[in-house]
Amino acid sequence: MDIGLKLTKFNTTFVMSSQGNELYIFENYLGMSAEGIVCFFDILCIRTEFIEIRKYEYTKDIQCVIMSNLAIDFEFLVPITPHIKPIIYLGTKYGPYDYRSPSDTVFGITNKEFHWGFGLAYNIKHKCKMLFESQIYSNNKWWWGDSGNWDQIETWGFEKLNLGIRYRLFRF
């Protein structure tokens, strides 16, 4: 069982919807989050964020998100060396999301997302490691108030960059 702190830079500003509509999403933020991680055999982990404090770039708002939209990620740490391990992760999240277009107009919508990415873990000490991750792909379904009004959006690139530290509390 590990706990972690993570600094996140989220960078989506423009996406194209499945119907070909251009959507401008000003959700760029800098965030700090706390997460819990359960690891099996030191290579397969399940992670969830408990809380995240976000400072949005365009509106300058500060928001506290509890359980980070029910985000759950599965991580595989490739055991190449004892000190450095590449990370492959995939996950999902579901919950409320703020759509901003233009930056002074905020719409509350519901978002269901699947995502995956890559990273590196560096063992600093026996119980402590530093991580860098980047979300490469996300597939979102956004509901605009009712079940019949939704957009599906795919994004590629370095949408979410994470730098964090984890500490092992105990082994099962």
* 132-141 pLDDT, tens digit each: 999 998 887 7
Please report the sign of the dihedral spanned by the C-alpha atoms of residue 54, residue 56, residue 60, residue 65. negative
Cβ atoms of 167 and 2 closer than 8 Å: yes
Nearest by Cα to 50 from 9, 4, 83? 4
Give the model confidence (pLDDT) of 99-146 as tens digits: 555 555 666 667 788 999 999 999 998 889 999 999 998 887 777 666
Strands (E), the chain: 2-10, 14-16, 22-24, 29-40, 44-56, 62-66, 72-77, 84-100, 106-125, 128-143, 150-168
What is the CATH code for 2-168?
2.40.160.20
> Stretch 23-27: mean pLDDT, rounded?
61
Does 88 have pLDDT greater than 70? yes
Q: Structure pTM?
A: 0.79
Q: Is the pLDDT higher at 21 or at 131?
A: 131
Provide the token pair at 81.
Answer: 């060396």
The residue extents of the domains of the chain are: 2-168
pLDDT score recorded for residue 101? 52
Tokens of 84: 């450095």
Nearest to 129 by CA among 164, 170, 169: 164
Least confident interval from 39-43, 79-83, 141-145 = 141-145
For residue 137, which amino acid is it? Y
The answer on pLDDT for 83 being more than 80 is: yes
The residue-averaged pLDDT of 13-21 equals 58
